[in-house]
Structure 1
Amino acid sequence: MRRAPALPFLLVTVFLDMLGLGLIVPILPALMTTVTGDAGTAVLWSGLLGSTYGLLQFVVSPLLGRLSDRYGRRPVLLASLTCLGADWLAHATASGPWTLLVFHALAGACAGTYTVVNAYIADVTAPESRARAYGLLGAAFGLGFVAGPTIGGLLGAVDVRLPFFAAAALSLANVAYGWFVLPESRPGDRTTPLSLRMANPVGSLAAVLRRPVLGRLAYARFCADVARMTQQSVWAFFLTYRFAWDSTHVGVVMAAGALGGAAFQAWAVGPVVRRFGDKRAAVTGSLAGAASLLGTAFVAVPWLLYVLLVVGVLGSVAGAATQSWISRGVADHEQGTVQGALTGLGAVAEAVVPVAAGAAFGWLLAYGSPGLVFVGAAACAALSALLLAGTPDLRPVALGSSGRGHQR
């Protein structure tokens, strides 16, 4: 099969993934209240579903990445999308919370979309073109984030379960599209062992972190994830507190920022990284992100907030550049394994940071200084930049090697 349709399919996959998630965000509380019978129980079950999903994603992602190295990217990706569609269909039809828990747990265990997509891009793009491809991926993510809640709110006004039927239909249609269109990027290597050490989250992370260069990049990406998740968790609450904005105003500003970020990643990331290289683009972008977060902590007037949003959009080059840098340092037959380990590490941030950031914000709010949460986020982004700046370039060396000769 031809490889030409691969990148468009991957972009559509990520867009639909995020669109499907966004569809249900504004209506999930109403559905959970309908299923459980009261709002208090709905909150508890929603938290349990989210935690179960994140835990199983952390546990299983390394295995899915390893399976994609051994058997190919295509079957793992299509299986992940099928599980996601089944999960949304369960949300649309379930009459009790236990059904939702079982299917959401299955979706978490099969949540290999981003693991496989990142590995797939490394398979089908030349190293000098990967930052552009990862930038386009970020743009697709952002567009789905903008479109999903809007469409979900409109559909939810018709029927509380309609957005879940729509999300399921999008996921399963994407499976059918991929079945007929998506080529295999690499046929797999049956000699790739499925050892317990490399297929469990602790062992796979240890194998990545032991690498002197790849390990530093993994730590840098984790710090960036912590900064990003902190901002996402408390940003709307902070704007409501600082400027007394209503939810509509906050939503419009968030949508504008997401659209700006999507446009920048789609059209500017590739040329910027080609001009400056992965390392300099990643370091500069991380510093821009840190500056944006630090400024947000003390912003006093709305116009300055908009300036800081633009700086943050420029800083989004760091994610694509770092991902490109990581992919260049991994042997072809282990792209899935490494991406799975990194997905698991990201799942830790997604599970822990929102709770910690929310608690810190609430505590600081009592003292009239909630913006200090952004100081902590800025420190994480600055630490990410420091780790990137101190990391030498690398060349592909298989996991499990002695570690010598990784650095140029």
Structure 2
Amino acid sequence: MNAEPPEEKAASEAEAGAMPEKRAGSRAAGGNSLQGFGRPSVYHAAIVIFLEFFAWGLLTTSMLTGLLSFLSAPLIGALSDVWGRKPFLLGTVFFTCFPIPLMRISPWWYFAMISISGVFSVTFSVIFAYVADITQEHERSTAYGWVSATFAASLVSSPAIGAYLSASYGDSLVVLVATVVALLDICFILLAVPESLPEKMRPLSWGARISWKQADPFASLKKVGKDSTILLICITVFLSYLPEAGQYSSFFLYLRQVIGFGSIKIAAFIAMVGILSIVAQTVFLTSLMRSLGNKNTVLLGLGFQMFQLAWYGFGSQAWMMWAAGIVAAVSSITFPAVSTLVSQNADSNQQGVAQGIITGIRGLCNGLGPALYGFIFYMFHVELTELEPELISNNAALQGAVIPGPPFLFGACIVFMSFLVAVFIPEYSKGGIQKHSNSISGSLANTPERGSDEDIEPLLQDSSIWELSSLEEPGHQCTEL
């Protein structure tokens, strides 16, 4: 290492002398709200995601996202790069879950607030930035896989529990339990989740002035059109998630009315796909990333998704749906692999806005995908509504058609275009992609006044990213996933 010039060394020593006051002022301004249990870890991120989506899954009602989240996700992500992850985790979870108790209190207020909550339905962007703060690049795909698998686990378990509680005790109890779970998630973030953004990267206080350029999401969106790598990734995400969002909105009604699945079979189908997705996003994803690399893993996931949608489109028998469901579970590796690719092309102080853009694109797809699939079903005279039993036979006639599921086949064609775009994404390697001059972080500048420049202890010093530091007696052994 080069020796530090005498004048710079003297200046740094002088600054170090004033450092205790600065750091004390920072702690006083921020209070104890940034404290939590142990060091920031993937466990914290996984629990937050599980509880949020478990609460909504109990209601068997999806969260509304769309244009609002497309605009808000980059902004919230950018602000989390400045102020820290924890405040925005708390805000996104609170406002996303706020409509839940209103389902029984006031239906009018429920529909009003659920539209507004779409602005904050971007927890994934903050969570993935949180994980990026505490992991090294070679660990990031595994960590993202665990978070995505936790999300899948919440969707596997919560609908069945919610349906059982509703049938046995009524809808009011389901709403009450979902509200309690949401409150538990908020309390967990407030009390247990530590801040992951290093103190020297945050302003001294919430009153510190920041440059709008650092938190301007539109500056990042403009950069997308200028940076070929980021542009290719964004197009890949849009074309791959658009048919996936449409599939989520209609597939289970399609199974019921066209293929003839009953409620028990649909529940079993969801459980099978969810459990296999957990395996795919943990064990399978880790192995693929080590052997194939990031880009090839994305391509493989897109290939499985294309195959799965084509199988749904041509399949007319129940066994075909079960087999295609296995393929669908394997295709779930795409999202964590893409998120890792995005993270690699963003600097450490721009992880929030980078993940925010991807989350925003997915939110836009959540608004466009169902409309696209609904239009195609309408063009082929298929009405996927809660039909009476005697009317289902009309749609069942499609089982003998050459293409029983036209929207799914159309979706396979869109994913094929996504695959072709992804082929041109440069393979990431250290020094291969110009990370500082040719990345999403280049669009944001003018760093605000931050805490002291004193070297802080690395978050991963001599410990695994999976560790939760013990706050109890010495000698406590941490577990690993």
Deviation at 1:172, TM superposition (A): 1.8
Equivalent positions of 1:38-49 (< 5 A) are: none
CA distance in 2 between counterparts of 1:223 and 1:81 reads: 27
**Cα distance change, pair 296–103 in 1 and its aligned pair in 2 (3 A):** closer
Percent of residue pairs identical: 22
CA distance in 1 between counterparts of 2:347 and 2:312 reads: 40
User: Which residue of structure 2 aligns with residue 71 of structure 1?
Assistant: 83
**Cα distance change, pair 105–234 in 1 and its aligned pair in 2 (3 A):** closer
**Cα distance change, pair 365–238 in 1 and its aligned pair in 2 (3 A):** farther
**Cα distance change, pair 396–138 in 1 and its aligned pair in 2 (3 A):** same
SS in 2 for 1:161: helix
Match for residue 212 of structure 2 among 195, 205, 218: 195
User: Which residue of structure 1 aligns with residue 148 of structure 2?
Assistant: 138
- Indicate whether 1:214 and 2:224 are aligned: no
Deviation at 1:170, TM superposition (A): 1.3
Deviation at 1:313, TM superposition (A): 1.9
Equivalent positions of 1:311-350 (< 5 A) are: 311-350=327-366
Deviation at 1:107, TM superposition (A): 2.4
**Cα distance change, pair 56–161 in 1 and its aligned pair in 2 (3 A):** farther
Match for residue 118 of structure 1 among 128, 132, 155: 128
CA distance in 2 between counterparts of 1:184 and 1:109 reads: 23
What letter corresponds to residue 79 of structure 1 in structure 2?
G
Return 5+ residue gaps in structure 1 as ranges: 29-48, 403-408
Match for residue 162 of structure 1 among 149, 168, 173: 173
Deviations 1:290-345 (A, max 9, x none): 11211221124333333322222222222221111110000111111122222221
Deviation at 1:289, TM superposition (A): 1.3
User: Which residue of structure 2 aligns with residue 109 of structure 1?
Assistant: 119
Contact residue 152 and residue 163 of structure 1 kept, 8 A: yes
What letter corresponds to residue 42 of structure 2 in structure 1?
L
Contact residue 208 and residue 341 of structure 1 kept, 8 A: no
Equivalent positions of 1:232-251 (< 5 A) are: 232-251=248-267
TM superposition score normalised by structure 2 = 0.72
What letter corresponds to residue 396 of structure 1 in structure 2?
K
What letter corresponds to residue 122 of structure 1 in structure 2?
A
Match for residue 261 of structure 1 among 277, 290, 310: 277
SS in 2 for 1:330: coil
Q: Which moved more, 1:56-65 or 1:208-217?
A: 56-65
Deviations 1:181-223 (A, max 9, x none): 21211144449955379535x5542323431101101110111
What letter corresponds to residue 417 of structure 2 in structure 1?
L
Equivalent positions of 1:238-387 (< 5 A) are: 238-365=254-381, 369-387=403-421
Match for residue 13 of structure 1 among 8, 31, 48: 48
Deviations 1:24-65 (A, max 9, x none): 126x9xxxxxxxxxxxxxxxxxxxx94xx5343233222211
**Cα distance change, pair 239–354 in 1 and its aligned pair in 2 (3 A):** same
**Cα distance change, pair 85–131 in 1 and its aligned pair in 2 (3 A):** same
**Cα distance change, pair 192–385 in 1 and its aligned pair in 2 (3 A):** farther
Q: Which moved more, 1:364-373 or 1:84-93?
A: 364-373
Matched positions, count = 377
CA distance in 2 between counterparts of 1:160 and 1:305 reads: 31
Contact residue 132 and residue 271 of structure 1 kept, 8 A: no
Deviation at 1:287, TM superposition (A): 0.9
**Cα distance change, pair 288–399 in 1 and its aligned pair in 2 (3 A):** closer
**Cα distance change, pair 192–271 in 1 and its aligned pair in 2 (3 A):** farther
SS in 1 for 2:425: coil
**Cα distance change, pair 194–233 in 1 and its aligned pair in 2 (3 A):** farther
Higher-Rg structure is: 2
Deviation at 1:3, TM superposition (A): 6.1
Return 5+ residue gaps in structure 2 as ranges: 1-34, 383-397, 444-481
CA distance in 1 between counterparts of 2:68 and 2:316 reads: 41
**Cα RMSD over matched residues?**
2.7
